[in-house]
Chain A
Amino acid sequence: MPPAALSVHLSIGQAYAWSVFKPPLESSMDLSGTASALPFQLGIVMLGLSAAFGGTLVERNGPRWAMFVSLVCFSSGFLVASLGAATSQFWLVVLGYGFIGGIGLGIGYISPVSTLMKWFPDRPGMATGIAIMGFGGGALIASPWSSWLMERFGTDNGGIATTFLVHGLTYGVFMALGVLLVRVPPEGWRPAGWEPPLEQGHMVSTADVSARNALRTPQFWCLWVVLCMNVTAGIGILEKAAPMIGDYFKDTDTPVSATAAAGFVALLSAANMTGRLVWSSTSDLIGRKNMYRIYLGVGALMYLAIAQLGDSSKPLFVVCALVILSFYGGGFATVPAYLKDLFGTYQVGAIHGRLLTAWSVAGVLGPYIVNKVADHQEEAGKTGPGLYSLSLTIMIALLVVGFIANELVRPVHPRFHEPAPAAAAEAEAAPAEKGGDR
Chain B
Amino acid sequence: MSEPTGNRTALTVAVWAWVVLPFGYGVYELIRKATQLFTG
B19 x A143 contact (CB < 8 A): no
How many interface residues does A have (CB within 8 Å)? 31
Q: How many A-B residue pairs lie within 8 Å, measured between CB atoms?
A: 74
In the assembled complex, the CB of A308 is this many whole angstroms from the nearest CB of chain B, namely: 22
Binary flags per residue of A81-117, CB closer than 8 Å to B gives 1, else 0: 0000000000000000000000000000000000000
- Complex-state Cα separation, A143 to B30, whole angstroms: 10
Is A269 interfacial (CB-CB < 8 Å)? yes
**Interface code B1-40, partner A: CB below 8 Å = 1, 0 otherwise?**
0000000000000011011001101110110011111111
* A177 and B40 contacting across the interface, CB-CB below 8 Å: no
Given the known inter-chain contacts A3-B19, A181-B15, A267-B34, please indicate yes or no for A259 contacting B29, CB distance below 8 A.
Answer: no
Chain B contact surface mostly: helix
CB of B30 within 8 A of CB of A259, answer no
- The answer to whether A419 has its CB under 8 Å from any CB of chain B is no
**Of the candidates B22, B25, B27, B36, which one forms a contact with A259 in the assembled complex, judged by CB atoms under 8 Å apart?**
B36
- Residue of B16, B30, B37, B40 touching A140 (CB-CB under 8 A): B30
Interface string of A2-24 (1 = CB under 8 A from B): 01101100100000000000000
**Bound complex: CA A326 to CA B29 (Å):** 19
Q: Given the complex, which residues of A lie within 8 Å of B27, measured CB to CB?
A: 137, 140
Cα–Cα distance between A270 and B34 once the two chains are bound (Å): 9
The one of A10, A134, A177 that contacts B15, using a Cβ cutoff of 8 Å: A177
Who on chain B is nearest to A9 by CB? B19
Q: Say yes or no: is A260 at the interface (Cβ < 8 Å to chain B).
A: yes
Asked if A153 is at the interface (CB within 8 A of a chain B CB), the reply is no
* Complex interface: chain B residues within 8 A of A267 (CB): 34, 37
Q: A3-B18, A260-B36 are in contact. List 5 more A-B contacts (CB 8 A).
A: A3-B19, A10-B22, A134-B23, A140-B29, A258-B40
8 closest Cβ pairs, A-B complex: A140-B26, A263-B37, A259-B40, A263-B36, A266-B33, A260-B40, A141-B26, A144-B29
